[in-house]
Structure 1
């Protein structure tokens, strides 16, 4: 037990968690491109997992060089003739990328993202089928907090029961959520019951650009009900769709207002993967699915 706790707190755990998550997502993405090339008769010159110097490599019977490189966070597939010929007189060969019709090239391009969506769909389906469909509680009790959001900054805690909003008694979670959504940018007072004590907490909902409403970063307590395989698949497909839709809405809104999109860099992604892995295998697998949709999109 002590050894496991030590491992979870070390940089080795961070590297292993990130290498597996990103490696799986990127490997399947590139595999999509590779399989599409094979099916369409396009010769592949190189399939590399990682970047930098080649550590191990083998050349297959088809002439493809399969490489394992020093930096395991990335990869690429290089179809023959992928770069357009600089000499207009040079005609692409039938087994080269630019020797294919435009729609066949499009299949190769989108085969990678398609594999990412397939991975996310399978992970989401498996998790939902194993654990059940989430059923949020109707009680106004905080089940989870988003770090750095207004509720967290104001000192609210998991387990707090919110009994009133600006002095008005609440009927339940939906009443609380609706009141917050209607109050972006306006300081509000939440009356909270905590360990037998009652206290007032002032919090200012942040405007959610994607939904045009106020949010403070709280979630209700969650229960789960058994789900059939069909129900799990349906919910997994819905989650993939909603994640893609929210990404489009958020980025479009930022660009419309000439704001820089809040895109996480490599360090931010590493930190999020590590937090998810330390939270447990369910959160870790869910986050792998989340990353897969993000890369596929």
Structure 2
């Protein structure tokens, strides 16, 4: 729990602080006086005032931060001070300052995605299992051990990249063109037509339902118990099992069942070791279970041998892919919001702080790359959410500024007050829905 909370606090601290830095940087460029920039909320722990008169503060609650500007001049302020007030700036400058926060989040997401592409990540290769009969993949001609190398003319290196390129068509319905490389090394085009899907947070995997799943990994020996049949036969950690008895290309489960069937009987096991095939004779130890049934065991631990690829790009391609991934995520998010409004997507997909904290902890445990990917996704979400035209959000302020530009004069105070009430109500309803969904998942 402590680890999850720490991962969540770091995520919010980084993403919200960067959002506020966006407002700060543009406000400074526009000549607005910044009174305080705080990392965190609540009681100030450390503070320092710079030569511009801005107080930089570290506060006790590390869940984001805020920037406090001089909103309007006070009576008696000299003209030089009054000119630094936010409300004295032009419409374009105020709009730029408000827009800078969400844009900063989108820029951060693009940089994080670019960093992952540049550093490289190890991911499963997009080698497909044999699709179930009558599935969409089977109807399109997908066969076992086909490797996806492009989706809709976009080259892919890994299973993760293939899933991302298929996500829009899988969720919204539509056509997807796959280029695959067969087990014989031939390239073929496969076209799949997906119907619109009902998306539920605990629903089935849309890829699997379409018949697209990773090929079953070969069992890999991860450990050998001393003095037991596996060690006596010469099995070693790192051996990849390719045949057990008459069973070719077994899964780990199938291998275990085959061994169980041969207590006290010599069983040939073929392994790949350093790229070479080696056949060993194993004599499974007969053991009697609680039910009196005699089964065989050889005393080895098994893992999955997924074919892995390192996905890495050069500097400029990494930056281009980072920007592209960010805008694809923005577009996908907006489409899902639109489908929620018209009822095509369940409102149960709205998540709140509890679910986000859970995902922060899960991705941090998986590894650094997974956590950075999570930060990029949440940064996009913060950017998109803040651009919604809801009063009290940055998008609501931009909406007011657009109206001010159309009318040629500021929005009346009564409009602003009513808008604040409406915005507060909408945000309260959204947060209530998010918390309800969070706790429903937590206790269901």
TM value normalised by structure 2: 0.46
Please state how far the C-alpha of 1:270 moved relative to its aligned partner: 0.5
Other-structure match for 1:128:
117
Residue 164 (str. 1) matches residue 250 (str. 2): no
- Preserved CA contact (<8 Å) 2:14 2:64: no
Other-structure match for 2:227:
none
Corresponding residue to 1:269 among 356, 360, 365: 356
- Preserved CA contact (<8 Å) 2:8 2:360: yes
Residue 242 (str. 1) matches residue 231 (str. 2): no
Residue 63 (str. 1) matches residue 53 (str. 2): yes
Q: Deviations over 1:98-117 (max 9, x none)?
A: 00001101111111122212
Q: Does the C-alpha gap of structure 1 residues 261 and 252 become closer, same or farther in structure 2, counting only changes over 3 Å?
A: farther
Q: Deviations over 1:51-74 (max 9, x none)?
A: 222222233332222222221112
Residue 140 (str. 1) matches residue 227 (str. 2): no
- Preserved CA contact (<8 Å) 2:364 2:371: yes
Q: Whole-Å Cα distance in 2 between the matches of residues 255 and 12 of structure 1?
A: 36
What secondary structure does 1:56 align onto? strand
Q: Does the C-alpha gap of structure 1 residues 129 and 76 become closer, same or farther in structure 2, counting only changes over 3 Å?
A: same
Q: Whole-Å Cα distance in 2 between the matches of residues 31 and 102 of structure 1?
A: 21
Matches within 5 A, 1:249-288: 249-257=335-343, 260=347, 262-288=349-375
Residue 74 (str. 1) matches residue 45 (str. 2): no
Q: Whole-Å Cα distance in 2 between the matches of residues 25 and 129 of structure 1?
A: 21
Bigger Cα Rg: 2
Corresponding residue to 1:232 among 310, 318, 336: 318
Matches within 5 A, 1:215-226: 216=206, 218=208, 220-221=213-214, 223-226=309-312
Q: Whole-Å Cα distance in 2 between the matches of residues 57 and 131 of structure 1?
A: 39
Please state how far the C-alpha of 1:224 moved relative to its aligned partner: 4.4
Q: Does the C-alpha gap of structure 1 residues 216 and 257 become closer, same or farther in structure 2, counting only changes over 3 Å?
A: closer
Please state how far the C-alpha of 1:225 moved relative to its aligned partner: 5.0
Paired positions, count: 235
Please state how far the C-alpha of 1:21 moved relative to its aligned partner: 1.9
What secondary structure does 1:164 align onto? coil
- Preserved CA contact (<8 Å) 1:29 1:113: yes
Other-structure match for 1:112:
101
Q: Deviations over 1:153-188 (max 9, x none)?
A: xxxxxxxx54434696862378xx9xx959x9xxxx
Q: Does the C-alpha gap of structure 1 residues 127 and 53 become closer, same or farther in structure 2, counting only changes over 3 Å?
A: same
Q: Does the C-alpha gap of structure 1 residues 239 and 58 become closer, same or farther in structure 2, counting only changes over 3 Å?
A: same
Residue 35 (str. 1) matches residue 25 (str. 2): yes
Q: Whole-Å Cα distance in 1 between the matches of residues 135 and 318 of structure 2?
A: 39
With CA pairs under 8 Å and 6+ residues apart, which has the higher RCO, 1 or 2? 1
Please state how far the C-alpha of 1:129 moved relative to its aligned partner: 2.0
- Preserved CA contact (<8 Å) 1:209 1:250: no
Please state how far the C-alpha of 1:75 moved relative to its aligned partner: 1.4
Q: CA RMSD in A?
A: 3.7
- Preserved CA contact (<8 Å) 1:133 1:224: yes
- Preserved CA contact (<8 Å) 1:43 1:79: yes
Please state how far the C-alpha of 1:266 moved relative to its aligned partner: 1.0
What secondary structure does 2:51 align onto? coil
Q: Give unpaired runs (5+ residues) of structure 1.
A: 1-10, 142-160, 185-204
Other-structure match for 2:85:
96
Other-structure match for 1:293:
380
What secondary structure does 2:133 align onto? strand
Q: Deviations over 1:219-252 (max 9, x none)?
A: 7547445422222222211110111001111111
Please state how far the C-alpha of 1:217 moved relative to its aligned partner: 5.3
- Preserved CA contact (<8 Å) 1:50 1:73: yes
Please state how far the C-alpha of 1:292 moved relative to its aligned partner: 1.0
